[in-house]
Chain A
Amino acid sequence: MLERMQILMCGGTGCLSSHSKDIQREFDRVLTEMGLREEVKLVLTGCFGLCEKGPIVIFYPDETFYSHVTVADVGELCEEHVLKGRPVERLIVKDPVDKTKIKNFSELKFYKKQRRIALRNCGNINPADINEYIARDGYAALGKVLDSMTPAQVVDEVKRSGLRGRGGAGFSTGTKWEFAAKSQDNTKYVICNADEGDPGAFMDRSVLEGDPHSVLEAMAICGYAIGAHQGYIYVRAEYPIAVERLNWAIGQAHDLRLLGQNIFNSGFDFDIELRLGAGAFVCGEETALMASIEGLRGMPRLKPPFPAVKGLWGHPTNVNNVETFANVPVIFLKGADWFKAIGTEKSSGTKVFALGGKIANTGLVEVPMGTTLREVIFDIGGGIPNRRRFKAVQTGGPSGGCITDKNLDTPIDFDSMVAMGSMMGSGGMIVMDEDNCMVDVARFYLDFTVDESCGKCTPCREGTRRMLDILNKICEGKGTLDDLDTLESIGYMVKDSSLCALGQTAPNPVLSTLKHFRDEYIAHVVDHVCPAGVCAKLTNYVVTDKCIGCTKCSKNCPVGAISGSVKQRHIIDLNKCIRCGACKKACPVNAITSKPQPKEEQVNG
């Protein structure tokens, strides 16, 4: 029987961890019981990007977008929507901005401003079925390249497209391919860097889970361009779903002879194998990554020689990031000029950002380069929840810096990010509001790099450790103004003298918060106060005279430290208070603060 309905369920890691697999099983069971199973196709897709609303289920052809679906809802969905054609209102996604229910998912503001190129198939196709990728013109780019282009033309096309590495540094992909193509050697390699390690970044995982074939196809194109016959995907073992789907994808591509020997009867051979990383952040650095593939400790080495000259096992190697590869097939299908026309002059195409932190729509968004942060955070991201004010956004993870509200309207591309004192990085975007302490944020990232420093070079190994010691001291209220200067000078020293990009960028979160939020550091060391109320030893909550006596704070206090009667200003007993901040979150009028108050106010505190 022909299907009349397709139900797409998100099979990304986010939704799978909230039981989308069980939901699929339940649909299968209920529909079979109702005798409708043959009329309905169930598809487990890749990530839809709107992870905040997961598990997500979409009904076609109606395009009904259901959010937060549970196994218990499946019966109702089958009974009402599949059988009777009545959408289940209560599960239909709400637009986070104006709270209206959205029936047709292309109406969602979240998707309207996006332009999905790298994520073109994520959430649209079944990643476990190569036919669905082929239906979306998959492998047509590889066919075209092998059929009608010389390797030099391929390199030239990528160069003309203006594609730049999406992994962080933003180096021209075409130029990189050209270097590798020019190196003389019978053995060359293509590596896909899928060692995504930035806290809060998960676009590479989503591409691998939702559209693995796009990466395989692009690697084969790259292999043809530079003269390599073997590719490796270095993927983290912590991404089991990505690994599983990549294995399926490689197997299916072999079955259809889209990988292996004599692809498209062109005489070109290309094969891909997986190499699993153990999750060391430094292995995202290409020389460390290659050392790890060779079975050595994942440590970087000096460049030059660059991998394009002397890479894996001493042979010329081209390393590109997952998102970069995902863009490549589209460039050949639609042409370099088409790609070049998207984005800004020096950064063409789109960029995927992983929105996280204090934002309504946690998830993945892909926008043309040159979109402003305001559009990304407020229009697509839905803004800051809980009536809080935007403070800053940390981009580029532990290698980047923070961007404040004065730069919200700057169009973002590789160069403007650097000019703002941050970097594009892999595209993690952690949004922070007034409840985030910037000293604590800097400490968090530095704590991460101290852990992940491989220890090969001294500035990174020792310098970051000393910086962390100082930050810990400041957070405990034992810092001095001199410490801020020391922090800065060690920071610049580590930046200038470290061996690899990990150390060269590790001080960035500290230096950029010192630059933009020096007053917060000063409040910590001079006034011994943490204005955001995060550092427990420096937080003294006070109820100000804005208090309306609603008693919400005292009801929410886990230790009963707040007293006061209805319509009277409440008082916090600081001896009992554990500085958890529950009262501050509960207060409807923002009357509870940890900022220093004039003397007479503190009497009540």
Chain B
Amino acid sequence: MKSLEDLKKLRDQSLKTMEMRYMNGGTRIQVGMGTCGIAAGARPVLNKFIEATSAHNLNNVVITQVGCQGECAFEPIVEVVEKDGTKTTYCKVSESMAEEIVEEHLINGKRLDKYMLSAIKR
């Protein structure tokens, strides 16, 4: 440690691992992780979301797991809850879709209608 600059670098690097504890009011990504969700492969999807948001340096995003929402046939279900409460429900999410959701929905702000539960469940 030679200077304030060094300290700042170390701070930013350490903060990354702790962000989870200080996020408030950002976007929430809720992954359905009931038995049905896990069986349908929700776990790698969840991890993909974490990887992707981290790779894009998205700070204000909470990724969390929730229980079964009753649409077991459409698992893995992922809900993106915006700051203002708007919910987008994606279903049958795969790892590649997760990446797409992060890039299109979270970064570019475009909802991916084709993956939404309302579009697939007809």
What residues of chain A have their CB less than 8 Å away from a CB belonging to chain B? 1-6, 8, 39, 41, 60-62, 83-86, 106, 124-125, 131-132, 134-140, 143-144, 147, 256-258, 264-265
Contact = CB atoms under 8 A, between A and B. Distances in A.
A132 B18 contact: yes
Given A61-B23, A143-B4, 9 more contacts: A1-B47, A60-B20, A61-B64, A84-B34, A84-B67, A85-B33, A132-B14, A134-B10, A140-B8
Nearest to A84: B33
A264 B64 contact: no
Given A4-B46, A85-B33, A264 B21 contact: no
B38 A140 contact: no
Identify whether the interface residues of A are mostly helix, strand, loop, or mixed. Answer: loop
Contacts of B14: 131-132, 134-135
B64 A135 contact: no
B58 to A, nearest CB: 13
A147 B2 CA distance: 11
Contact of B67 (A3, A85, A131): A85
B4 A264 contact: yes
B77 to A, nearest CB: 12
Contact of B18 (A135, A147, A258): A135
A260 B33 CA distance: 50
A536 B50 CA distance: 64
Contacts of A138: 11
A4 B50 contact: yes
Interface of B: 1-4, 7-8, 10-11, 13-15, 17-18, 20-21, 23-24, 31-35, 38, 46-47, 50-51, 54, 62-67
A86 B67 contact: yes
Contact of A147 (B4, B17, B51): B4
Contact of B7 (A84, A85, A132, A140): A140
B39 to A, nearest CB: 11
B11 A140 contact: yes
14 contacts: A4-B65, A61-B64, A84-B34, A84-B38, A85-B32, A85-B67, A131-B14, A134-B14, A147-B4, A258-B1, A264-B3, A264-B4, A264-B7, A265-B2
List 6 tightest A-B contacts by C-beta distance, closest first. A85-B65, A135-B14, A131-B14, A135-B15, A85-B33, A143-B4
Nearest to B16: A135
A163 B37 CA distance: 55
A85 B64 contact: yes
B contacts with A: majority SS? helix
A79 B69 CA distance: 18
Contacts of B21: 6, 8, 60-61, 124
Contacts of B38: 83-84
Nearest to A144: B4
Nearest to B54: A2
A200 to B, nearest CB: 30
A443 to B, nearest CB: 46
Contacts of B54: 2
A319 B7 CA distance: 28
B3, B21, B38 — which one has the most chain A CB atoms within 10 A of its CB? B21
A256 B1 contact: yes
A83 B33 contact: yes
A86 B67 CA distance: 6
Contact of A264 (B1, B18, B47): B1
A61 B4 contact: no
Query: Which residue of A6, A134, A140 has the most chain B CB atoms within 10 A of its CB atom?
Result: A134
A8 B18 CA distance: 11
Contacts of B35: 84
A86 B66 CA distance: 6
Contacts of B33: 83-85
Contacts of B8: 140
A139 B7 contact: yes
| Most central of B15, B31, B38, B54 by chain A CB within 10 Å | B15
Contacts of A8: 21
Given A2-B51, A132-B14, A84 B20 contact: no
Nearest to B61: A61
Contacts of A147: 3-4
A66 B109 CA distance: 36
Contacts of B65: 4, 84-85
B64 A2 contact: no
Given A61-B20, A84-B35, A4 B4 contact: no
B11 A143 contact: no
B4 A2 contact: no
In this complex, which of B8, B18, B50 has the most chain A Cβ atoms within 10 angstroms of its Cβ? B18
A383 B21 CA distance: 30
Given A84-B33, A85-B33, A140-B11, A257 B67 contact: no
